[in-house]
Structures are given as structure tokens and as C-alpha cells.
Amino acid sequence: MKRTFMPVSFLVVVVCISLQVRPARSTEDEHGPALGHRPAHEVLESLDDAQRKNASIDLEVPAGTNRAASLRAEQVATLWNEDRHVDALQALEELEAKGITPAVGIAWKAPVPSQSPKYYPDVAIGGGRTGFEDTALGYDSASGNIFVLIQWADGWSMNISTDMGQSFSETFFWSTHALADMTVVGDHAWVGYAPTGASAGSIRMRRFHVADGAEDETYDWVEIEDIDPDYVADLIVESNAPDTNNRIYVVYTSSWDRKIGILYDDLTGTSFDSIPTGISFAWYGLDFAWNPYPASPTDGTVWLSFIDSTPNVQVYTNMNSVVFVNEATQPFTGSARTTGISAHNGDIYCVFEKDNGSGQDGVGYLNSSDAGAIWRIGDVYVPVSGGASARRPNVTVRSGAVPAVTFATAEAGTDLVFHTQRSAMSTGSWDGPFHFNSHPAAYATPNKIEWLDVPCVRSHGMVYGDDAGVPYFDLMTERCFFSDGFESGNTSGWSTTSW
């Protein structure tokens, strides 16, 4: 299909694909970066008596660990879960002294609240944890529960809100640094993660019940791919919810070859197949979107965005072909090499940082309203003279009504996080932008925006990190006044007796 560009302002678009040579790997780089690893016994020793009684654990040993050591790790977990904490810690230290470095997964028997429920803008996530690095946001339309995955400097955690985002509770913590992402589909929130360090080529999956956020202990964890001796550079987990609601996607780039791999499975989540992409020049800023486009094949369409080494922003899809084809290319002129992509029916948006010639970065976009036949190039945000540069934009069009974008700015004082949306899907002006953070933000950390189609919410939810490494959740619009079912027609909790 011929691709025609319609620039909002005059712009020369250059398509450039360069061949990449695999770099030599140092001894220190043999297994990828070993970031944020705390010995498992230190993680467990740091728990007080009440936390120990509330923690059910399992241990994940590094890839290639011998059978005897793996069995010993299982025995350690059994000792702990029988409340024999001292014995478990002693056995764990002995295991670690032999060079085995397991990660510990903590499933909280009673979820740990992050903040008392209140009606106010920003809700802290993670209790007293700091070290926020990245996040994923999702929801379950049946229960109305909202889920936030937090990637920390020393692990990742699963968090659930059962009260429309007024408060969050941590249900699970995994104790070693990893790339992690999440999607909600079917009866579970699915977390894909790629540990750094000795298991950096391994991609693993856990899942959590949407009813209460508890780990599915029967599923436990499943290794769905291992690209050793290479390691995972970027990781995205997505699904086709809430449309078809029956498929999980895991998308990654390999560090050596910069290839994009796509894995998918049904909701059993145990036998992932792969989709070849033919892309081997994805250097930065990988993002992925499912598109419920009526004209696409039965299985739907997926879209990819990333930045190559030129650097150019690249947009690819498999919509009109059995292989992935380039849909749009745009020179990247920003600083933080990230992209964000979202799709709904024929409407596709990709956002990225863009220098408009002033030496300051705004937010640019690529947009198609006809599933890629014609692309428009424009600006979401242009800094005024002397204004602050934008960082790490993110986009969603999943409301089906208008595109919404978040981005941070590096201010002279307190960094800010902004929200803006367009007056119509592919036409009109962008409002604001309006900053929504009530705490000092950290512009260098990612922010996320998602459409939350939850009863009594139906709004854009957003997560950002502050300058102390604490993540916060916010809603673009206020929650309903009622929160006991009345707003959705359930009046059983209300008296009909006249006064």
C-alpha cells in the first residue's frame, strides 16, 4: 500500500535503515547488567515479625542452576512457609555461600496498603518503598479493579486498587532487578519480566487474580523464552483486551542484534508461539499496541514503534501483510530516545520528543486516521522561548474519542508532569497542557497514561514518579460521589423508607 505523508508544517521525511554490526561483548557484559540485586536472605531478614508471618515466598534460581541446588531452594521456601523463618534463613545463607543467587518472590497473605483511602488527587503506591524506575497500568472491566505494576531499582511489585484508585495495596514483591511490564486480560493481570544479571536472557511470566490481586500459585512462574547468551534490552507485555480478550503478547528487543521478537499465547499462558518481524535495528524506545480494527484479519492488528540508530522514529505493523512493514519514518531530534504508540480502529498515534529548532524539546506526533494510508506530522507541545523541554511522552487513544498525552518537563525548580488531549481524534487543537502532579516530579523517569473503562471512573489514569523515587497514581477527572454500587444501579445498600 502506498503511504502518503501530509505534514502539518513543512517537513522533509527521510527513510533510512542502516545495517548494524554486533558489538564485542566484555566479560563484565557476559550476562547483561547486574543491577539492584540484594541477596535473598537480606530481603527476608529485613522483614519484621508481622511481615514474616504475612509473607508466603518462593525462590527463583538463576538459569542453568543444577537440580540439587534447585531442590534446596524449594526446601528453603517450604521452611519459610511453615513459619520456620530462622531455619529457612540459615539454609538460604548456606545456599548463597555456594554461589547460588536466587531471587525471592513474596506473596503477601494480606495485601499491604500503600495509603489510607482518601478523596484527593495523587495516591502513593508502594508503601515506604523508593527507587521507582518504570510502571504499567491496567484495569479489569468486570470487577472495576485497577492494577499498577511498579519496576523498582531492586525488583518489581504488583499493586491493586479495589476502590477506583483511591488507595492501592501491594500483593506481591519480586526481589531482584528486572525489566517488567504488565497487561490485564481474562481473569488475570499478567506480568512479564526479564531478570538482569545471570538470567538476563530469560523472559518469565507470573499472573495474578483480578478479583483480589493475589498471585496464582498454581501457575507459579513460567519461562516463556530464553535468548541466552544475548539478553533482553526492552520488554513490553500487551493483550487484546477488552476487545477480543483472549490473547497475551510479549514483545522484546535483543541487546546484541537489536532484533524485535514477538511471542503470543492464549490465556493458558504456558506455550507461547512467535511472530517473525524481520526487524533487527530497534535500538531504543520500543513500544507496542494492539488495534481492534474491524477491517484487519481475524486475529487483529499490532503496531510497533521504536528508534533506530540513525536516529529515526520507526512505525511498523502487520495489518496488511503477513510480515511487518514500515508505515512511517520520522527523524528523531529529541533527547530521551523513547516512543509511545496507541491504536483504536483506524486511528494510530505515535509520540516522541521533537526539537523544533530552538534547542528545546517539545512533543511531536505521527498520526493516521485511516489505519496507515495517510500519515500526518504535527506537534502536541511546543515550548515557548525559554520554556522547559518535554521528556518521555506517552499516549493513549483507547477511549475511542480523543487522543490523550502525558509528558514531563525539566523545570528550573520543581519538575512537572502534564496532561493534554485533542479536541477530536485527528483534528483540532490540543488543550492546556495542564500539570497534574501534586508532588515534585522526576522528569527523567517514565510516566504512563491509560484509559480506565471502570464503572464510576471512565477516565484517563496516570502514574508518575517523584524526585524521591516514589510513584503516584492520579485520575484526570474526579471519581463519582457514590462508591457502593448506587452509581451503577445497585440500590440494595440504601434505605427506601421515607422520613
Supply the pLDDT for residue 35: 53
Helices and strands (DSSP H and E) totals, the chain:
4, 31
Residue linked to cell 550476562: 31
Nearest to 367 by CA among 320, 422, 310, 299: 422
**How many degrees, rounded to 5, is the angle at CA 189 between CA 367 and CA 128?**
100
> What angle, 0 to 180 degrees and rounded to 10, lies between the N-to-C axes of helices 85-97 and 67-81?
160
Distance between CA atoms of residues 162 and 167, nearest Å: 8
Residue linked to cell 547488567: 33
Distance set, CA 361 to CA 148, 297, 331, 335, 393 (Å): 29, 38, 13, 7, 11
Give the Cβ contact number of residue 376 at 10 Å: 16
Distance between CA atoms of residues 156 and 304, nearest Å: 25
* Residue 99 buriedness (CB in 10 A; 0-12 / 13-18 / 19+): exposed
Supply the pLDDT for residue 197: 77
Cis, bond preceding 311 (omega within 30 deg of 0): yes
Distance between CA atoms of residues 209 and 215, nearest Å: 6
For residue 84, give every residue at least 6 positions away whose Cβ sits within 8 Å of its Cβ, in sequence order, or none: none
Cis, bond preceding 229 (omega within 30 deg of 0): yes
Contact 395, 340 (CB under 8 A): yes
Distance between CA atoms of residues 469 and 473, nearest Å: 13
- 346: which 3 cell numbers? 483506524
What is the second-level CATH architecture of the domain 4-16+36-483?
A: 6 Propeller (2.120)
Distance between CA atoms of residues 386 and 227, nearest Å: 46
**How many degrees, rounded to 5, is the angle at CA 139 between CA 133 and CA 140?**
145
Q: For the chain, which residues score pLDDT lower than 50?
A: 1-34, 117-120, 298, 481-483, 487, 496-499
Nearest to 225 by CA among 189, 190, 252: 252
Contact 456, 164 (CB under 8 A): yes
Phi, psi of 161 (to 5 degrees): -120, 125
Tell me the per-residue pLDDT of 12-59, one tens digit each, with 9 for 90 and over: 333 333 333 333 333 233 334 445 678 999 999 999 999 999 999 999
Contact 119, 166 (CB under 8 A): yes
Strand partners, 135: 150
Supply the pLDDT for residue 340: 98
- 139: which 3 cell numbers? 484495569
Nearest to 404 by CA among 436, 442, 359: 436
Tell me the per-residue pLDDT of 147-188, one tens digit each, with 9 for 90 and over: 999 999 999 999 999 988 989 999 999 999 999 999 999 999
- 366: which 3 cell numbers? 505521527
Burial track 66-86 (b if 16+ CB lie within 10 A, e otherwise): eeebbebbebbbebbeeeebe
**How many degrees, rounded to 5, is the angle at CA 211 between CA 208 and CA 213?**
35
3-state secondary structure of 75: helix
Q: On the CB side of 381, how many CA atoms lie within 13 Å of its CA?
A: 34
Supply the pLDDT for residue 492: 57
**How many degrees, rounded to 5, is the angle at CA 157 between CA 152 and CA 159?**
125
Supply the pLDDT for residue 457: 80
Distance between CA atoms of residues 319 and 372, nearest Å: 9
